[in-house]
Amino acid sequence: CKNIKKNPLKPNFKIALMGLFLNLCVETMIIFHKISDLEKELAELRRKGLSTCFVPTMGALHQGHMSLVEKAKSVADLVVCSIFVNPAQFNEESDLDKYPRTIGADLKLLDQEGCHIVFIPEAKDIYAKNEFSSLQADYGSLTSTLEGEKRPGHFDGVATVVNRLFEIIQPNKACFGLKDFQQISIIRAMVKERRLPIEIIGCEIVREPSGLAMSSRNSLLKKEDLEHAAIIHKSMNWISQNMEKESFGKLREKAILNIEKAGLLKTEYLEFVDPDTFDKKDVSKSEKPVVVLFAGWISGVRLIDNILVQD
Ligand code: AMP
């Protein structure tokens, strides 16, 4: 592990929030690469009575990730963030290869945000004998529809890595973004099924001023694409505002036409599902609560977004 500069928390704030004791324990952001080193450190901190909130990421961090770290800081004594581009959840090698990696900038952001511990493991340590997907995530429509259908094996990879990271870190809480609405629903189902004593906290989607959901993949897009991709959120908003007037079928048809009219974006799916079960809603009706989920492509980059509409 390697210590980097002093935690920038102000003294008064630290004393008020965590007390002198924690101050002495966690003065620096510590970076771990080896599982055994991290486990040893966390066991020691647990013995001292400190609670932990975990933020798993794949790096190329932005303000969306930082909102999770900020939330984590407010609900636990210690924030542990992981950076691991998980090969098991990629369907295509080319997608894995081109996934943005910005480790230096990531560490700077995490340090500025007041993260306490960063875990950067290697795939060979996370996956013994290169067995990528040992866990099979099967939670009915939650895993079989939308991302589950379009990206076979993706959620097995996500569940496997999150479960493995939970085993190593043993957090009291963990923060996930609602941007990956299906993912957090599956993590909740997994935690319930495996009876893990971990509270899962959902964090609101952080957006660019244009409305585009922040995403690591946005950095692969040109300025024109980024500007154009704002149509996704605008169309989802339009759907939520017109639910009283038209059926889901009609809303979907018009929204896709609008999203695709400039010929830059291609819709992979735009679906209306029950937010708890992910069962598809009857398109001839318009019934709340509903979560509207979108996936589409622009200049070879896949973007997802969603909007939850409740009464
Ligand atoms: P990733 O690095 O893409 O695997 O994301 C790590 C975590 O950050 C996941 O829980 C994501 O849902 C969350 N996240 C990514 N983008 C955003 C965003 N724009 N707003 C809120 N959370 C996000």
What mean pLDDT is predicted for residues 93-102?
A: 96
In this structure, what token pair is assigned to residue 173? Answer: 């809480």
CB of 84 shorter than 6 A to ligand 1: no
In tens, the pLDDT along 206-227 reads 999 999 999 999 999 999 999 9
**Which residue do the tokens 């950076």 mark?**
83
For residue 131, pLDDT beyond 80: no
Number of Cα atoms under 13 Å in the Cβ half of residue 83: 26
Q: CA torsion sign, 147 to 225 to 60 to 14?
A: negative
C-alpha angle with apex 187: 166 to 232, nearest 5 degrees?
Answer: 125
pLDDT at 134 (0 to 100):
81
CA nearest ligand 1 atom 10, residue: 176
Q: In terms of DSSP bridges, do strands 199-203 and 265-273 run parallel, antiparallel, or are they unpaired?
A: unpaired
Please measure the distance between the N-terminal and C-terminal CA atoms of the chain and give it in whole angstroms: 49
Å from CA of 46 to ligand 1 middle: 27
In tens, the pLDDT along 229-270 reads 999 999 999 999 999 999 999 999 999 999 999 999 999 999
Å from CA of 212 to ligand 1 middle: 13
In tens, the pLDDT along 139-191 reads 999 999 999 999 999 999 999 999 999 999 999 999 999 999 999 999 999 99
Q: What is the pTM of this model?
A: 0.92
Is the separation of the CB atoms in 81 and 121 below 8 Å? no
Residue 176 alpha carbon, nearest atom of ligand 1: 10
How much is the mean pLDDT over the chain? Answer: 92
Across the chain, the runs of DSSP E, i.e. the strands, are 2-6, 28-32, 52-57, 78-83, 117-119, 173-177, 199-203, 265-273, 290-298, 301-309
Å from CA of 224 to ligand 1 middle: 23
What mean pLDDT is predicted for residues 31-54?
A: 98
pLDDT category, 128, cuts 50, 70, 90? confident
Q: What whole-number distance in Å separates Cα of residue 182 and Cα of residue 211?
A: 20
DSSP 105-169: HHHHHHHHHT--EEE---HHHHSGGG---------THHHHSTHHHHSTTHHHHHHHHHHHHHHHH
Q: What whole-number distance in Å separates Cα of residue 126 and Cα of residue 164?
A: 7
Q: What whole-number distance in Å separates Cα of residue 306 and Cα of residue 30?
A: 35
pLDDT at 130 (0 to 100):
63
Q: SS3 for 276?
A: coil
Q: What whole-number distance in Å separates Cα of residue 310 and Cα of residue 156?
A: 29
Q: Which residues are catalytic?
A: 65
Å from CA of 12 to ligand 1 middle: 31
| Pairwise pLDDT comparison (298 vs 20), residue with the higher score | 298
- Return contacts of 123-126, CB within 8 angstroms, 24+ apart: 123/84, 123/86, 123/87, 125/34, 125/35, 126/84, 126/86, 126/161, 126/164, 126/165
pLDDT category, 72, cuts 50, 70, 90? very high
CB of 213 shorter than 6 A to ligand 1: yes
CB of 176 shorter than 6 A to ligand 1: yes
Å from CA of 268 to ligand 1 middle: 20
What mean pLDDT is predicted for residues 285-293?
A: 96
CB of 215 shorter than 6 A to ligand 1: yes
CB of 157 shorter than 6 A to ligand 1: no
CA nearest ligand 1 atom 18, residue: 64
Q: What whole-number distance in Å separates Cα of residue 294 and Cα of residue 306?
A: 6
In this structure, what token pair is assigned to residue 307? Answer: 């909007």
In this structure, what token pair is assigned to residue 87? Answer: 């090969």
Å from CA of 214 to ligand 1 middle: 8
pLDDT category, 28, cuts 50, 70, 90? confident
Q: Which of 54, 65, 203 to mutate to test the pocket of ligand 1 (most atoms within 8 A of CB)?
A: 65
CA nearest ligand 1 atom 14, residue: 177
Q: Residue 235 is which amino acid?
A: S
**Which residue do the tokens 């990696």 mark?**
101
For residue 37, pLDDT beyond 90: yes
